[in-house]
Structure 1
């Protein structure tokens, strides 16, 4: 049973590393803020969770599993909030191409910008 858990842990670690690599490449290569924000959150969070799963399968200690669970909870709690704040800041600073948006829910809440 230990060998199966080690193999599954190695597969999860490799998959998580590849997803994190893809997210990093996406952040560097994507053209605009919204695409980069997507690359920084969705595959990165899944990559980190797969890395944590791989670590949990390899370590198996109660203290290790507790710490891994805390890291996973904080990752899931902070990544969406950070993406929301980045998107809102980009929208307010005028760095979002509004023609790409299907619906513009912030159009009515936009404070007047200085200089306009």
Structure 2
């Protein structure tokens, strides 16, 4: 399962969503600041969870998920997020709908 997702421009988070609070948000933001932006897809493992980054143009898409999901499904999730993100508006809760509509089998 994917537990958390964000979209950032450089190191600035412009949208994020999680169904529950946790320290993973702080860890994700620290990793975001220290991760090379030239990487197209990058994964960091923390126990049985992973932080996955997908950089496209000037945006970075990140998800925090179970290790069992695997790299391929995480990349598919992040790519679907990238495709759906233009539908995001500044309306409160809109990004949550983009994330919830992003489905991985």
Question: TM-score category by the smaller chain?
Answer: under 0.3
**TM-score (norm: length of structure 1):** 0.23
Structure number with bigger Rg: 1
**TM-score with structure 2 length normalisation?**
0.25
